[in-house]
A and B are shown apart, each in its own frame.
Chain A
């Protein structure tokens, strides 16, 4: 599944003037921007296919910035969040960072800092998206395996030779070889080592 939408910076701030200014700045530097006056508005329009990052004010009436981050983290699409705040608050910033905030900046924010943070966030999002896409693909491939093939895969990962696997599973070696080939083809792996890596990546757990 691919997405052709460009990565977007989602701005969330209850101060209209701030929202306009940030939007202008990001737009003139070539970013796609969407603005929201409250976290509630944003969450209502947030889609799993959204790409990009969020720049949010920390203190907002109703759902605060931290709540927003928490909600995003629990959604299927955890976009990176950059916090802006006019009110320096150390415990909150530590809390925010521990929860995985991308960055924490104070208003008035310097152009370079903001753009650098946005760039990092977008990169991380792209990377995460790619990883998720790949994982999804992998999972799909693993679904194609038959139960017997899964058993064989487990043995291969354990480093067993065909002969040993045949003995262990009470099957002919020839059959085992055929299974191995099928597995390699389905999973599009080049070597047993790669098989092992892929299995680990997808979190394959043996049925035994």
Chain B
């Protein structure tokens, strides 16, 4: 058990708070059929309509936690989760829950841009179609590209392959693809790590637009980025665990970004945000 757990991140009650979008209750995730514990005993309440950032050193399990939020970890063999992840009060890991439906409501943007080998138009239309979109597809493609700040650059080559775009444009195409299906939550796993600073800036601007409409959870290595885009920040750290060999990730501190970066409660957080390690 992680003794340095911040009490404020514990759930006040088991009753569902309507302002809470995602609620993690004592979540532990392991790989290799329980052999390697990636992250231990996470409690967290992610509010609706806010940007929440996960920061922390490599191997602290922040990406693992993010992928647990829309059950992407299901795709990794031998990955198991203990505890509960509630989305609007529903346990995502309930036996009756269909992970495909979860992912239609909680979309994801990945670390590496991964456009489909289709045209730019089809990249966006694909997700909308499988979600049974009945409206005007052209309109949806345009509005999604506009929201992802890609319309001006891509409007003249909608029929060209998604791979014809630059890396930053590809990542914005992936964001457009995700917002086209109108999820409630968008998970972003280090979306700018493979991009140059200018593309990063464009994507951050896009995020400012998006947070008016969506709940966003973003994993980032870049602390400036966390301060620029997020309302709340969760700092993950690696600790040694009693009765366990090797390092295990845990949630060190979780709160408003302002507070985490200016007056953190934990020494480790202070050290990390001031650049002393990590």
**A, B assembled together:** no
